[in-house]
Structure 1
């Protein structure tokens, strides 16, 4: 299996905001640490990078300090910095460019033996945003592919989606690139400006539970589990019980029930915070 590197991004929310209260549940740098540990438990890990403004050193993670994105342009600025990273760092290994709130339950590195340049995941049930930007699989067979693909995303947002440059632009631009610009060459495989793009099943490689409500009854039968939204509070228990020591000392049924009830109560408590935190995603049109 190929040794794989990881690249994630985390910016600390402003103190006193709903986003800061949510972040305190499990900070992004701690999410990245758990994510890297889960990846290394199932796959050969080369290097792990965390791009952002976090001042907290994390063992085993290479920090990439960058300034905070401009207000209203979070998504666009992150894509620009990822593009610049690959322009300066020609990939010597395959890369995963992913959100930090993921856990890996099965190997994914064998995917890079396939003939593609970039792979992403399909989101079921959404016509407006049918592809998910939470994880990209970047093959290193073509060293320039990553810079080219991220340059395409940046250019498309700047040309078409500046009104969504703060939050949803990264999702909308994928639909545009795949459905409007690419050519189908096989089922879930596309040709885009000389690059081969593979689309993976999101329920397998980027799974999120319905209604942000995970359960602790059994180890997830997926490759990648995405703890989006209010299910963030489940990420550490899932890592602890199912990856770190789950094989040695699994929760007894009564233990799963008690912890599951506690986590569900926490999820309910967080709902107002998440509703208020969505204000940060309000689109701002560039002038």
Structure 2
């Protein structure tokens, strides 16, 4: 299996635009810390712990300083670090152009910890797998597809490439002003249509011939709700998501339960 994480060092331009999206947030320095080498390392270590034979890749821009991690290949692309949402898609597409359909490929965020192997997932029949979120504030989630995990089945390699090209076109047509944040996920949900996604789950969703597995976020993207520096062990979750300022407790969780 191949696991690829995208990360670039962002700057003031991104933070200013993000602040306009979410003017009530006062903790941008905690949500986007200057140095996330530790978090990236913990994510890769957790992947290797569950998938010892996997290939680990960090996708980044031409200039972001990267602490060389043992067993991690760094691939650099000519992308704009101030537009992470859009440029992540560009880097993923560029990577697929040089990849082969010989093994599963997983694109994921760096603020995840894997607790269990997902190899058995790729024994199932599908073309690509996305994270499904059922509920939000007491109702069905208005944007049920989360863009932080994309699993590509070897048998669905070409269909996955075509799907991401369609997402790219949708992005440019509808969300070109949201290259810093939100546009990728919005494009996914616009194409797949929330109502159709909810109606399909737990079965697969078919989109233009591509069979999409919907992975429940409660198992494959469980959001850690941390208060303070201590987090309960969550042994029944395959993948944990330390989003926003919760990244601060990734180290404690890794050291307490997984190291």
Bin of the TM-score, shorter chain as denominator length: 0.7 to 0.9
- 1:66 equivalent to 2:77? Answer yes
Shift of 1:170: 1.4
Q: Show the counterpart of 1:113.
A: 123
Structure 1 gaps of 5+ residues are 245-287
Q: 1:56 aligns with which of 59, 62, 67?
A: 67
Q: Is the 8 A contact 1:8 1:98 kept in 2?
A: yes
For residue 44 of structure 2, what is the aligned residue in structure 1?
A: 36
Q: Bigger CA drift: 220-229 or 54-63?
A: 54-63
Aligned residue in 1 for 2:2: 5
CA distance in 2, matches of 1:139, 1:220: 26
Larger displacement relative to structure 2 (210-219 or 196-205):
210-219
Question: Which TM-score applies when normalising by structure 2?
Answer: 0.81
Map 1:1-287 onto structure 2 (within 5 A).
4-14=1-11, 19=29, 22-24=32-34, 27-52=35-60, 53-69=64-80, 71=82, 73-126=83-136, 127-179=141-193, 187-210=202-225, 215-244=230-259
Q: 1:212 and 1:141, CA in 2 relative to 1: closer, same or farther beyond 3 A?
A: farther
Q: How many residues align?
A: 238
> How far apart are the structure 1 equivalents of 2:162 and 2:229?
37
Change (3 A) 1:70 1:214: closer
Deviations 1:142-200 (A, max 9, x none): 33233222212111101122232221111111112222898977743111222110111
Deviation per CA, 1:85-106: give whole Å up to 9, x if none.
1012124210110001110112
Distance 1:181 1:150, change over 3 A: farther
How far residue 201 of structure 1 moved from its aligned partner, in angstroms, is 0.5
- How far did residue 37 of structure 1 move? 1.4
1-side partners of 2:195 and 2:234: how far apart? 39
Task: Say whether the 8 Å CA contact 2:126–2:156 is kept in structure 1.
Answer: no
Q: Is the 8 A contact 1:42 1:104 kept in 2?
A: yes
Q: Once structures 1 and 2 are overlaid, which stretch shifts more, 211-220 or 198-207? A: 211-220
Q: Which runs of 5+ in 2 are unaligned?
A: 16-27
- Render the CA deviation track for 1:35-88: whole Å, top value 9, x for unaligned: 1211222234421110113332221110011234164x4312221221111012
Question: Residues 22 and 58 (structure 1 numbering): CA distance in 2 closer, same or farther, change over 3 Å?
Answer: same
199-208 or 121-130, which deviates more? 121-130
Helix, strand or coil at the partner of 1:164: coil
SS of structure 2 residue aligned to 1:142: helix
